[in-house]
Structure 1
């Protein structure tokens, strides 16, 4: 179950790297505007905010990846701690989006379900192990 939790955490990390790309690199492109439901003007106006927010997503993904690598090389406590911090923060951010913008429930669930499953699987694996 620990491996399943780490795999799910890796998937959540990849999702957040993609979100980083959309927010910090491609924010004003037609594709990103379509995904986030913004106009060209809104995207230009919010470009700096999105750029900054994208890096938050990248940092969460980095924490998860470093945690997975740490666990893989035998630093189990450090590894699972980093994975829990990264995925727990992803879940919390998804919940904030869900509560603050219910119309964006689909996006919130994409952001929070994979890391939530990772947390659950990892917690179960650790409790059994």
Structure 2
């Protein structure tokens, strides 16, 4: 289960690196195709806000990657659980306030990772 949890962490980290790129560097280009519900005229005025959001996604990715390289297995799990928990909360909040799709893309993979860690810990 631990190996599967780490694979999920890698996937979630890659997703957040993608979110960072999309929100910080491609907000006025590629993001228009991803966030189709946002009127096109709002992309330029919200560019700074999106970049700030992308930076936070980068911090989540950094924490998840850090959890994979910590030498102590116990701390790997604790740090992984913390950052997966942060991603889950962000995904649930995003689903409640912006788009239900955010739950599936962001929170659900993190919840699967949490579940795999908990199975590893208690079995």
TM-score normalised by the chain length of structure 2: 0.93
Structure 1: runs of 5 or more not aligned: none
Say what the alpha-carbon RMSD is for the aligned residues: 1.2
Q: Matched residues in 2 for 1:66 and 1:97: separation?
A: 24
Q: 1:22/1:118 Cα in 2 relative to 1: closer, same or farther (>3 Å)?
A: same
| Match of residue 109, structure 1, among 96, 104, 111 | 104
The correspondence of residues 1-129 of structure 1 with structure 2, limited to 5 A, is 1-29=1-29, 31-37=30-36, 38-70=38-70, 73=71, 75-101=72-98, 104-128=99-123
Q: Is the 8 A contact 2:23 2:53 kept in 1?
A: yes
SS at match of 1:21: helix
Q: Matched residues in 2 for 1:39 and 1:28: separation?
A: 12
The total of aligned residue pairs comes to 122
**1:21 Cα shift?**
0.6
**1:80 Cα shift?**
1.3
Q: Is the 8 A contact 2:63 2:83 kept in 1?
A: yes
**1:54 Cα shift?**
0.4
Structure 2: runs of 5 or more not aligned: none
TM-score normalised by the chain length of structure 1: 0.89
